[in-house]
Structure 1
Amino acid sequence: MNWYTGNTGYDTVLTIAFAFAAFVLVGGLFGQSPYGRFATTKLGLNLNPKLGWWLMEIPATVVFAVAYLTGPRRFEPTSLVLAAIWILHYGNRGWFFPLNIRQVPGKTSSFNVSVLGMGMLVTTLHGYLNGALFSHDYLGRYGSGWLTDPRFLLGLIVYLSGFALLVSSESIVRNLRDKNNPGASEYKIPYGLGFRFVTSPAYLGELVAWAGFALLTWALPGVVIFLITFGNLVPRALATHGWYREKFDEYPPERKALVPFVI
């Protein structure tokens, strides 16, 4: 993978993104992002999670679209396939997931504005770097032959495997709360599919998906988002595992936190 594309603006944004990834990796050692079960009122305003998640993910759709549509190769086959993979991911992450969150009525908001700010920075960088790369092909890589390249094919298999695990795990958690009676119980132990092995299969799916994305694009923006995701989700998965074990005496002892049979 080449570091510099030769485009000064693009390379500057890529450098900023790597610097932020380093910040997230170090910051993850000292605490969890304040949303969900780890929300706090100490950092100021909290938002409704539906609104917070949706706002945070908007740049991944809007910035990507603007960057992509300005590129001269935006209608070429490989660019369109890469854009379709992006739309698949952020159609789920940016629209379906937040709009289908089942929140306990009257519950105090649990999505801190600090998470919104950091998240919008990430999705802005992420959207620009990939949208511009796919449609400008700064690396001269995304000709029609890329769609049969072993790196693309293997990466696509890895990505889709992770995406399937992510979506199925989110569905299980979402359906723990009755759609017609969301206030019946706030937290339950999830079972089935990835939950047979780990506490946070959705986090594992997200990591696997972005590893596959980095491979199928064979470009550094994919590495950046994998590192940011790793720095955020690995410590969070470990903390979530401890939280469940403390909250539920009957929590399955054989489950690991994130990687089956390992950790």
Structure 2
Amino acid sequence: MLTYTGDTTYDLVLSIALAFALFVAVAAWFVPSPYGRFASPRLGVALDPRLGWFLMELPATLVFLYFFLRGPHRGELVPLVFLGMWLLHYGNRGFYFPLSMRVPRGQRSTFGLLVVGTGVLVTAIHGYLHADFITRLGPHYGPEWLKDPRFLAGFVVYYISFILTLHSDSILRNLRSREEVASGERVYRIPRGGLFRWVTNPSYLTELTGWAGFALCTWSLAGVFIFAISAANLVPRAFATHAWYKQKFPDYPPERRALVPFIL
């Protein structure tokens, strides 16, 4: 059963984080998170999207490592497995992904400082809640946890989601040629192949299933938080992106759904 830890500071931060996820779940339907195609110049100084994304995701790695290395169970097998899963995800999302973006030369309209600041806060809380739970406040994960059905199911879902995310990211990245990037031309095309056969936003879908898998693996309210805040942001954004594509491209495939194949 998922419960609070009994640690006053941790449980307070967790409560605030869950309340914030609820707030975002409501607000995001009215104002999509202002980055990418929904960026707004009113929300701060614009940054290069690669730098903005890197800064926004960096605390998830640094804060997690700081609290992980302070935890009394940091050297045990299961926490080390979680560490590997975490570093794999953020090695891709926080470092490789922004470095591999094909951004038209001179583009600085994607990330405002307000967006980056909010992202930094969320990823820092996310890193703290997970690391402190895994290595100090949670159940003492013995080696037998690696055979638990919750861990096994979550582990499989997590890694399938990770592989599918890489594939979807690659399709999107290759929509824009290096020549177009060098010329500064901003081009949008309809992505095709992979999960794009069925949904407009496959990377959003696999981000959510990946965090659902991680929540199962850790069996923690910290996992519930990152899934909830991700869903609160990505579900409304998926619908807004789907509407944007349908408006921009008259020949947009009508069979595609916004987020969940055949359903949503």
- 1:70 is aligned to 70
Task: Give the stretch that moved more between structures: 235-244 or 2-11.
Answer: 2-11
- 2:155 is aligned to 156
CA distance in 2, matches of 1:117, 1:19: 18
Q: Which runs of 4+ in 1 moved over 6 A?
A: none
Once the 2 structures are TM-superposed, how far is the Cα of residue 108 of structure 1 from its aligned partner?
A: 3.9
Once the 2 structures are TM-superposed, how far is the Cα of residue 106 of structure 1 from its aligned partner?
A: 2.3
1:47 partner amino acid? L
In the superposition, relative to structure 1, how do residues 68 and 108 fare at CA in structure 2: closer, same or farther (>3 Å)?
Answer: closer
Any gaps of 5 or more consecutive residues in structure 2? none
- 1:2 is aligned to 2
Question: CA contact under 8 A between 2:48 and 2:107: conserved in structure 1?
Answer: no
Matched, 1:246 2:254: no
Which one has a larger percent helix, Structure 1 or Structure 2? 2
- Kindly, what percent of the aligned residue pairs are identical? 55
- 1:192 is aligned to 193
CA distance in 1, matches of 2:216, 2:199: 25
Question: CA contact under 8 A between 2:52 and 2:116: conserved in structure 1?
Answer: yes
Task: Give the stretch that moved more between structures: 23-32 or 65-74.
Answer: 23-32
Once the 2 structures are TM-superposed, how far is the Cα of residue 139 of structure 1 from its aligned partner?
A: 2.8
Matched, 1:83 2:83: yes
2:207 partner amino acid? E
User: How big is each residue's C-alpha offset from its partner over 1:70-129, in whole Å with a ceiling of 9 and x where there is no partner?
Assistant: 011111000100111000111111101111111111234211212111111110000001
Matched position secondary structure for 2:40: coil
CA distance in 1, matches of 2:47, 2:87: 26
In the superposition, relative to structure 1, how do residues 141 and 72 fare at CA in structure 2: closer, same or farther (>3 Å)?
Answer: closer
Matched position secondary structure for 2:250: coil
Give the alignment of 1:118-137 within 5 angstroms: 118-136=118-136
- 1:145 is aligned to 144
1:83 partner amino acid? L
CA distance in 1, matches of 2:192, 2:133: 40
CA distance in 1, matches of 2:236, 2:158: 22
CA distance in 2, matches of 1:17, 1:147: 28
1:253 partner amino acid? P
TM-score under structure 2 normalisation? 0.96
Matched, 1:214 2:219: no
Question: CA contact under 8 A between 2:4 and 2:221: conserved in structure 1?
Answer: no
Once the 2 structures are TM-superposed, how far is the Cα of residue 150 of structure 1 from its aligned partner?
A: 0.5
CA distance in 1, matches of 2:235, 2:115: 17
Once the 2 structures are TM-superposed, how far is the Cα of residue 180 of structure 1 from its aligned partner?
A: 4.0
Matched, 1:172 2:154: no
CA distance in 1, matches of 2:106, 2:65: 36
User: How big is each residue's C-alpha offset from its partner over 1:224-248, in whole Å with a ceiling of 9 and x where there is no partner?
Assistant: 0101000100010001011001111
In the superposition, relative to structure 1, how do residues 2 and 251 fare at CA in structure 2: closer, same or farther (>3 Å)?
Answer: closer
Any gaps of 5 or more consecutive residues in structure 1? none
Q: What is the CA RMSD across the aligned residues, in angstroms?
A: 1.2
1:110 partner amino acid? T
1:102 partner amino acid? R
Give the alignment of 1:44-55 within 5 angstroms: 44-55=44-55
TM-score under structure 1 normalisation? 0.96
Matched position secondary structure for 1:75: coil
